[in-house]
Amino acid sequence: MKEKRTYLESLHYYGRIWGLALAALILAVPFIVAILFEAQPNYTALLAGTVAILPMYWAVGLVEMFTYVPMLGAGGAYLSFVTGNISNLKLPCALDAMNRAGVKASDEEGEIVSTIAIATSSIVTTLIIALGVLLIVPLRPLLESPVLAPAFDMILPALFGGLAVAFVSKNFKLAIAPMILMLALFIFVPGLNEGSVGIMVPVGVVFTVLIARILYKKGKI
């Protein structure tokens, strides 16, 4: 008789399947387009470009794995990496849901809450995008209105600001150092902008872990 998988074993089993399936689909798209339109790329230039940028993506991907998995749990991490948009959508939804439920991602309850929150976020996002595609023409004057432009620019800061109040207030001593670091970097390094968030989140996490260890050794936390 086949032994029944545990919840975590099922997560890893199906998570690997969907992750590999997504990777195959993503890699298949350019090859299918090239075959259908008989437009073969310059493979020498493609290889040169790949060699130039691949190390950065490998490094970021590795760091994100060690960064996001402890915060999202196994199920939430698998689902987030498949659906994307982690730092500015899936992560805030999962953290807020677990905070409200009073659970941690390392617990089985936290795994379930995180996965449900991310799945709900993915479904809602898909529905909103579908509605946006259907209504883009009639809504364009409203969306491009100069009156509403400042509000749209503040959506993400408002979202992360609300989360910051909840999490920073729990341990201000630990939060102050990474906050100062990120503020200093984005203020004094002109090259950093909203497009750098995906890279800076892992940097902030590693820095926070180091600060936490130092404070713990000194008996401050």
User: pLDDT tens for residues 29-69?
Assistant: 888 888 888 888 888 888 887 777 776 677 677 777 777 88
The answer to whether 184 and 46 are in contact (CB under 8 A) is no
DSSP code per residue over 138-159: HHHHHHT-TTTHHHHHTHHHHH
User: pLDDT tens for residues 120-140?
Assistant: 999 998 898 888 888 877 877
- DSSP 8-state symbol, 94: H
Higher pLDDT, 2 or 171: 171
Q: What band does 171 get if pLDDT is binned at 50, 70 and 90?
A: confident
Kindly list the distances between the CA atom of residue 195 and the CA atoms of 131, 185, 215, in Å, as whole numbers in the listed order.
26, 14, 31
Positive/negative CA dihedral, 158, 160, 162, 164? negative
Computed on alpha carbons and rounded to an integer, the radius of gyration of the chain in Å comes to: 21
Q: Pull the structure tokens for residue 171.
A: 């341990």
Q: What band does 3 get if pLDDT is binned at 50, 70 and 90?
A: low
Q: What is the pLDDT of residue 117?
A: 92
Q: What is the pLDDT of residue 146?
A: 81
Tell me the percentage of the chain whose pLDDT exceeds 90.
4
The answer to whether 69 and 77 are in contact (CB under 8 A) is yes
- Rounded CA separation 181/184 (Å): 5
For the cut 80, the answer to whether the pLDDT of residue 196 exceeds it is no
The answer to whether 112 and 75 are in contact (CB under 8 A) is yes
Q: Pull the structure tokens for residue 116.
A: 């449900």
Q: What is the pLDDT of residue 70?
A: 84
For the cut 60, the answer to whether the pLDDT of residue 1 exceeds it is no
Higher pLDDT, 97 or 108: 97
How many residues are there in the chain? 221
Higher pLDDT, 180 or 165: 180
Select from 69, 78, 81 the least CA-distant residue to 106: 69
Select from 133, 49, 121 the least CA-distant residue to 82: 121
Q: What band does 198 get if pLDDT is binned at 50, 70 and 90?
A: low
Tell me the percentage of the chain whose pLDDT exceeds 70.
91
Q: What band does 168 get if pLDDT is binned at 50, 70 and 90?
A: confident
Which of 34-43, 95-104, 136-145, 174-183 shows the lowest mean pLDDT across its residues?
136-145
pLDDT (average), residues 15-25: 88
On average, the pLDDT of the chain sits at 81
- Rounded CA separation 76/74 (Å): 6
The answer to whether 100 and 116 are in contact (CB under 8 A) is no
pLDDT (average), residues 70-86: 85
Select from 194, 187, 205, 180 the least CA-distant residue to 63: 205
Give the up-direction half-sphere exposure of residue 43: CA atoms within 13 A in the CB hemisphere.
3
Residue with tokens 């992360």: 160
The answer to whether 103 and 113 are in contact (CB under 8 A) is yes
Maximum CA extent, the chain: 66
